């Protein structure tokens, strides 16, 4: 792989505009090379003779040694070889941007090289400024984490032994080293120094040596040997100061419905009660903060390394293109600059790792590093094999079903209508789920291909997100068992003796549903437990929408549910059919029940109602009128769905209800289509560089965006045929037509998903937003902040 592609593949996508523009500089070098090839002329005889004499003379010069260029001391400079002079501009006594002076502008093609160095300086100064800004930010965060750790250590001591107290130096991550006297993870058992065992003392002394140089450690060991060793260790240990707790309050996050209701009544900042539950919650939050902070440092370190490597590559490419020797001088400047000489990030990473291992992994380095540096998920061949096996079996079953229907002429059978009304809705539920999973796997494939950071946007734990192969595996497995149930359930003939169908056959759909729900809620670490629990947690947040802070995964899942209205209605039909229907004879009176009709409307409204409540919650928190307009859009959809369903249930359809259904559905369709394209996708920008799209696009072909907008409009109008009562496909049964329209809506949602996340990703890129904000447990008031 060429360096340009490797460089683009390894960069942090949200920071891509802050990286050195390698492709642009490379294109300038191509212009220089093209100019030199066009103006290339044979060298004069005098130059050839002069060159040959130089070479002949060099054969008799003294050999200076292979490593002489690396010897210490100032190297001798040949003024004839100097191509550039690089200097830092002083601004107010502070080193500012770097400027490169090209010493040979009068040579043929020199204007191209001037353009190259100007652009090179712009890129380098951009990189240095961004890196310096980010380093300053992480140092501020390190100070805040240090304060949080000091409060946590004091809280640990207070919870384990309220009597114990004292003062010592505080933890400081952003300093060049740790303080010499740390508090420990290990807590006293019986109170006071008398309760410490020998192992406790050894661990405490080990903790107190973090960040101390080897010379200081050796001196300390010598002093301990002279003064009695262990006794001196006990005297050196002093627990952390508990005074910090006088200035600390704990942040009560609105993470549960109960805490939300309490937060409405009183402030979310509460005094410490020194309970173990508070300690456990604080440790969990600080652990997450450390993991995210370490990840941020790792990406910042990678940013520094990749840019240094890019400048090295481009300068070597310049030397090769122009036959000059300018890379040495420029790369020396890069090494001396803040980008090359700063080691704050490396030292800070080491201190963060040491702190995490000591305080959160009980000194187990391997365990701590496993959490801080999760390994990249490996592609497993068995997933590909099983995926192909399940998919092949599913295709074979589809063919078998088609052949079975054709051979037995089931479409003209007397039990066809009975089957379509009673059995088809049961299996269509699995079809909706499989289709949605197929669309989602396609989304993941294209997100990865076009480098949309979907795992960061959704907030997946690093290394646990599912790839498209895993989602395809789940969908093909579900389709296999569902199709196997269908082919075993194609019996249309009732038994003449019992006047009923076989009970075991009729219970197959219910058994499949129980299996799917059991796997979804299975507590064991099988079948992607972390992803299943993430889905369950988001679903629970959706159900309790006003009582939870609305995050992107929550409202994204709620949007998916709005496209699965027919699947939710299928669940209602399961309850009615197996609870109150005569499933042995394939009979039900669901549509004759007024209660069923009411719930048929309610369950269709629920997904839109959840989004409406989420919009109100965000409007209340963020004070953004756009969320209010979005809520009105969903409210219009609720009205359209309710009126349309009432109109469908009428035996004698009146013109008034038809006009109401058509009007509300038309308004909802227009509002939803406009919001999809303009707000969610960010398209139809009038003054955009790309006509009627947006300034930045990820897909290389602009026509895809126009096709997607057209498809969105068409698929939004597809369900209008149900309102107007147009039977577009006469040979299809009514339930089959409903399923086709529901599938079209799922396909539309799959297309919407890709462009929605693309727009979100570009917003993150524009704001250089590559990290999630992690809530910290402790809050310092002004006086407490000063005391630290």
Q: Are residues 366 and 497 in the same domain?
A: no
Domains in the chain, number: 2
Inside any domain, residue 476: yes
For the segment 68-88, what is each residue's pLDDT rounded down to a tens digit?
343 434 444 444 457 777 777
CA–CA distances in Å: residue 52 to residues 40, 57, 99, 322, 654: 20, 9, 37, 21, 103
Please, what's the largest Cα pairwise distance for the chain? 114
> Do residues 32 and 112 touch, judged by C-beta distance below 8 A?
yes
For the segment 110-163, what is each residue's pLDDT rounded down to a tens digit?
777 888 888 988 999 999 999 999 999 999 999 888 888 888 888 888 787 765
Q: Are residues 516 and 636 in the same domain?
A: yes
Q: Are residues 533 and 606 in the same domain?
A: yes
Q: Given this model, what pLDDT does residue 32 score?
A: 84
Element (H, E) at 95: strand 94-102
- Is the pLDDT at 539 greater than 80, yes or no? yes
Q: Are residues 701 and 633 in the same domain?
A: yes
Q: Are residues 340 and 451 in the same domain?
A: no
**Mean pLDDT, the chain, integer:** 79
- Among left, alpha and beta (phi > 0; psi -120 to 50; other), residue 725 is left
Vertex 195 angle, CA 192 and 198, to 5°: 125
Q: Which residues pair with 90 in a beta bridge?
A: 95
Residues of the chain above pLDDT 70, percent: 76
At 330, the pLDDT band (50, 70, 90 cuts) reads confident
Instruction: Compute the radius of gyration of the chain from its Cα atoms.
Output: 35
> Do residues 37 and 325 touch, judged by C-beta distance below 8 A?
no
At 13, the pLDDT band (50, 70, 90 cuts) reads confident
At 36, the pLDDT band (50, 70, 90 cuts) reads confident
Q: Are strands 248-251 and 94-102 parallel, antiparallel or unpaired?
A: unpaired
Average pLDDT on 170-175 reads: 62
- DSSP code at position 400: H
Q: Given this model, what pLDDT does residue 745 score?
A: 93
Q: Are residues 388 and 369 in the same domain?
A: no
At 190, the pLDDT band (50, 70, 90 cuts) reads very low
Per the listing, tokens 């992480």 go with 138
Closest of 744, 751, 746, 725 to residue 650, by C-alpha: 725
- Is the pLDDT at 17 greater than 60, yes or no? yes
DSSP string, 426-477: HHHHHHHHHHHHHHHHHHHHHHHHTT--HHHHHTPPTTT---HHHHHHHHHH
Retrieve residue 587's tokens.
Answer: 């009979």
CA–CA distances in Å: residue 626 to residues 321, 629, 679, 761: 54, 5, 9, 19
Domain span including residue 629: 381-766
First-last CA distance in the chain: 51
Q: CA 783: distance to chain centroid?
A: 38
Locate all alpha helices (DSSP H) within 337-380, ordered by sequence: 338-341, 344-360, 365-372
Of the listed ranges 424-433, 593-602, 762-771, the least confidently predicted one is 762-771
Closest of 317, 284, 309 to residue 26, by C-alpha: 317
Residue 97, SS3? strand
Inside any domain, residue 73: no
Alpha-carbon distance 90 to 726, whole Å? 76
Q: Are residues 751 and 652 in the same domain?
A: yes
Q: Which residues contact 231 (CB under 8 A, 6 or more apart)?
A: none
For the segment 252-294, what is each residue's pLDDT rounded down to a tens digit?
555 666 555 555 555 445 566 677 777 888 888 888 888 889 8
Decide which of 373, 392, 421 is a domain's last residue.
373
For the segment 215-247, what is each residue's pLDDT rounded down to a tens digit?
444 444 444 443 444 444 434 444 556 777 777
Look up the pTM and report it.
0.80
Average pLDDT on 482-492 reads: 89
Q: Are residues 347 and 436 in the same domain?
A: no
| Size of the chain, expressed as the number of residues it contains | 788
Inside any domain, residue 686: yes
Alpha-carbon distance 565 to 606, whole Å? 9
Q: Are residues 393 and 357 in the same domain?
A: no
Q: Given this model, what pLDDT does residue 266 score?
A: 55
Per the listing, tokens 């054709």 go with 406
| Core vs surface per residue 605-632: b (16+ CB within 10 A) or e | bbbbbbbbbbbbbbbeeeeeeebeebbe
């Amino acid at each position: 792989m060429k360096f340009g592609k490797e460089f683009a593949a390894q960069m942090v996508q949200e920071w891509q505009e802050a990286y050195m523009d390698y492709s642009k500089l490379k294109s300038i070098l191509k212009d220089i090379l093209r100019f030199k090839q066009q103006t290339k002329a044979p060298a004069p005889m005098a130059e050839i003779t002069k060159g040959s004499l130089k070479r002949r003379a060099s054969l008799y010069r003294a050999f200076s040694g292979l490593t002489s260029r690396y010897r210490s001391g100032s190297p001798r400079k040949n003024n004839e070889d100097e191509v550039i002079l690089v200097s830092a501009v002083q601004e107010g006594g502070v080193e500012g941007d770097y400027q490169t002076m090209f010493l040979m502008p009068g040579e043929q093609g020199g204007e191209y090289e001037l353009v190259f160095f100007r652009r090179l300086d712009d890129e380098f100064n951009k990189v240095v400024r961004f890196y310096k800004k980010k380093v300053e930010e992480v140092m501020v965060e390190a100070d805040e984490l240090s304060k949080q750790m000091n409060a946590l250590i004091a809280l640990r001591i207070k919870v384990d032994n309220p009597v114990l107290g004292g003062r010592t130096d505080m933890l400081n991550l952003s300093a060049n080293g740790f303080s010499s006297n740390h508090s420990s993870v290990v807590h006293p058992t019986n109170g006071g120094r008398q309760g410490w065992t020998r192992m406790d003392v050894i661990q405490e002394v080990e903790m107190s040596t973090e960040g101390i140089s080897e010379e200081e450690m050796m001196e300390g060991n010598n002093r301990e040997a002279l003064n009695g060793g262990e006794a001196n260790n006990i005297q050196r240990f002093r627990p952390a100061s508990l005074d910090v707790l006088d200035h600390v309050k704990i942040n009560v996050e609105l993470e549960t419905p109960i805490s939300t209701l309490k937060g409405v009544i009183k402030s979310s900042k509460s005094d410490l009660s020194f309970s173990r539950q508070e300690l456990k919650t604080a440790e969990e939050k600080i652990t997450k903060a450390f993991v995210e902070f370490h990840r941020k440092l790792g990406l910042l370190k990678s940013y520094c390394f990749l840019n240094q490597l890019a400048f090295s590559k481009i300068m070597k490419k310049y030397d090769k293109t122009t036959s000059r020797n300018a890379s040495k001088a420029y790369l020396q400047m890069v090494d001396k600059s803040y980008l090359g000489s700063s080691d704050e990030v490396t030292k800070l990473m080491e201190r963060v790792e040491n702190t995490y291992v000591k305080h959160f992994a009980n000194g187990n380095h391997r365990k701590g590093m496993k959490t801080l540096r999760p390994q990249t998920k490996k592609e497993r061949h068995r997933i590909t094999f099983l995926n192909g096996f399940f998919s092949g079996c599913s295709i074979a079953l589809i063919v078998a079903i088609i052949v079975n229907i054709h051979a037995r002429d089931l479409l003209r059978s007397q039990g066809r209508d009975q089957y379509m009304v009673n059995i088809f809705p049961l299996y269509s539920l699995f079809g909706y789920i499989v289709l949605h999973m197929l669309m989602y796997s396609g989304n993941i494939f294209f997100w990865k291909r076009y480098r949309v950071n979907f795992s960061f946007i959704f907030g997946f734990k690093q290394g646990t997100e599912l790839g498209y192969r895993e989602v395809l595996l789940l969908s093909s497995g579900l389709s296999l068992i569902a199709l196997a149930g269908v082919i075993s359930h194609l019996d249309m003939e009732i038994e003449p003796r019992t006047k009923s169908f076989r009970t075991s056959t009729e219970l197959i759909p219910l058994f499949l549903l129980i299996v799917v729900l059991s796997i979804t809620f299975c507590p064991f670490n099988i079948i992607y437990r972390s992803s299943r629990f993430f889905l369950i947690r988001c679903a629970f947040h959706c159900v309790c929408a006003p009582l939870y802070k609305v995050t992107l995964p929550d409202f994204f899942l709620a949007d998916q549910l709005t496209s699965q209205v027919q699947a939710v209605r299928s669940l209602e039909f399961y309850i009615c059919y197996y609870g109150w229907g005569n499933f042995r004879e394939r009979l039900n009176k669901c549509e004759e029940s007024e209660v069923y009709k009411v719930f048929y409307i309610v369950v269709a409204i629920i997904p839109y109602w959840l989004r409406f409540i989420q919009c109100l919650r965000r409007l209340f928190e963020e004070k953004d009128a756009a969320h209010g307009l979005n809520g009105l859009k969903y409210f219009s959809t609720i009205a359209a769905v309710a009126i349309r369903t009432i109109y469908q249930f009428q035996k004698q359809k009146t013109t008034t209800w038809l006009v109401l259904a058509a009007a509300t559905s038309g308004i909802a369709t227009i509002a939803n289509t406009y919001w999809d394209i303009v707000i969610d996708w960010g398209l139809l920008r009038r003054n955009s560089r790309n006509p009627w799209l947006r300034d930045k696009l990820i897909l290389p072909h602009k026509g895809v965006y126009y096709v997607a907008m057209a498809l969105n409009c068409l698929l939004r109008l597809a369900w209008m045929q149900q309102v107007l009562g147009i039977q577009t496909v006469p040979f299809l049964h009514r339930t089959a037509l409903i399923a086709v329209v529901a599938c079209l809506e799922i396909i539309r949602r799959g297309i919407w998903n890709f462009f929605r996340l693309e727009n979100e990703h570009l917003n993150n890129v524009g704001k250089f937003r590559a990290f999630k904000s992690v809530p910290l447990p402790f809050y310092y008031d002004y006086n407490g902040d000063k005391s630290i």
